[in-house]
Amino acid sequence: MGEENYSKIINNYAYAKMLDKIAYAKYKSHQYYEAILACKKSNISNPNSSYPFYLLGWIYKKQKDYSSGISSFSKALEIEKIDDYFFGRGICKYELNDFTSAIDDFKYSIFSEGEFKPNYYWIAKCKYELNDFKNALSELNKAFKLCAKYDSLNKWYEKEYLFSLRAKIQYELDNYEDVIKDLNKAIEINSENNNHFLLRAEAKYELNDLKGSLDDLNKSFVLNSKNDCAWNLKAFLKMEIEDDEGAIKDLNKAIELNPNSDWYFSTRGICKINQKFYQSAIDDFDKALEINPNNEESKKWRNECYLRLNQISSYFYHYFSLKLI
């Protein structure tokens, strides 16, 4: 190789390294357009470097352009097989709901060079989305064990999302007492997340702790009063104590926040049956079936309303017929 060509390669390498630093600085300061330009210039100067493609992957991820992110991480992997590249691509695949393929990427690196990477957590998230709850719990427990083993991981270990995810998995497995334990820890870390209080309220409801459930719901409302699920659960609590009028008011709020839930209309219809508002209940069941024609409960209760209205009509018909005799 000639001295001139060698010097050119060295200069291109140095220039590419400088561009990489500029690109990273722009990325950290959220100047994504400038970061992308610097990455592309670095690719031209040093086409054998995987780093610009890797950084591009994260930039596209930040911009929620997950397909471009996958493409960039894949190009980086063509040059070098590095665990972080698989991890980044797995994140993008997760965001596109490609959970099975994301798991394959996360499995490439679990623990490397003494630095914990939360692959087990992301594998658990994917399995949770795939409704594979038992294996999701198993994977997440591996993350907890690693965190307990390595002191340097305690900061990551304390982050609420580990406990929050495990609580959601335990809820799907009907382990409601474990749900409450994990959410107690999550709330200890962050008491400003209304979803923690809401899920804990649901777990307490399943354990028939109605007072505890209502207390958590009220805490949830302080943080966020615009959660339709919370209003729906509050309605159920009132139905348990036969306060159908109060339940209807709560369901009105849930429907206002989410008018596309057939379940809310159906439940409100049942409350109206208890109050003998049969025609209004029919209107709710009609709306529920308009949203979801396969709602069998609404069909059943609507038929019950028609039956009761016919009975009432028949009663009045006979009553007035006797009066006329």
- Look at residue 6 and tell me whether its pLDDT is greater than 80: no
Establish if 155 belongs to a structural domain: yes
Q: What is the pLDDT of residues 70-119, one digit of tens each?
A: 999 999 999 999 989 999 999 999 999 999 999 999 988 765 544 556 88
Q: For 23-45, how does the pLDDT look when each residue is reduced to its tens digit (9 = 90+)?
A: 889 888 999 999 999 999 888 88
pLDDT in tens, 180-189: 999 999 999 9
- 118 shares its domain with 210: yes
158 within a domain of the structure (yes/no): yes
179 and 242, same domain (yes or no): no
State mean pLDDT over 121-150: 90
Structural domain includes residue 4 = no
| Assigned domain for 9 exists | no
Per-residue model confidence (pLDDT) at position 318:
41
In this structure, are 182 and 255 located in the same domain? no
Class of residue 84 by CB neighbours under 10 A (exposed 0-12, middle 13-18, buried 19+): middle
Provide the domain limits for residue 126.
110-214
Pair 122, 97 in one domain: no
Whether residue 49 is found in the same domain as residue 73: yes
Residue 12 lies in a domain: no
Residue that is last in its domain, among 47, 75, 101: 101
Same domain, 268 and 318: yes
Residue 317: pLDDT band by 50, 70, 90 thresholds?
A: very low
Q: Which of 163, 187, 214 is the last residue of a domain?
A: 214
Q: How many domains does the chain have?
A: 3
- Verify that 134 and 160 share a domain, yes or no: yes
Task: For residue 6, tell me if it sits in a domain.
Answer: no
Residue 56 resides in a domain: yes
Residue that terminates a domain, selected from 101, 127, 145: 101
The reply to whether 256 and 313 lie within a common domain is yes
Q: What is the pLDDT of residue 147?
A: 74
Give 260-308 pLDDT, tens digit per residue: 999 999 999 999 999 999 999 999 999 999 999 999 999 999 999 999 8
Q: How long, in residues, is the chain?
A: 325
Query: Hey, what long-range contacts does 155-161 have (CB within 8 A, 24 or more apart)?
Result: 156/116, 156/118, 158/189, 159/189, 160/185, 160/186, 160/189, 160/190, 160/193, 160/196, 161/121
Residue 11 has pLDDT above 60, yes or no: no
> Distance of CA 225 to CAs 67, 246, 254, 257, 265, Å?
35, 17, 10, 10, 20
CA distance from start to end of the chain? 121
Do residues 35 and 61 make contact, with C-beta atoms less than 8 angstroms apart?
Answer: no
- The pLDDT, as a whole number, for residue 27 is 87
- Shared domain check, 270 and 190: no
In this prediction, residue 16 carries a pLDDT of 67
Task: For residues 53 and 118, state if they share a domain.
Answer: no
| Domain containing residue 130: CATH number | 1.25.40.10
**Domain check: are 117 and 182 in the same one?**
yes
**Is residue 248 pLDDT above 80, yes or no?**
yes
Is residue 10 assigned to a domain? no
State whether 119 and 197 are in the same domain. Answer: yes
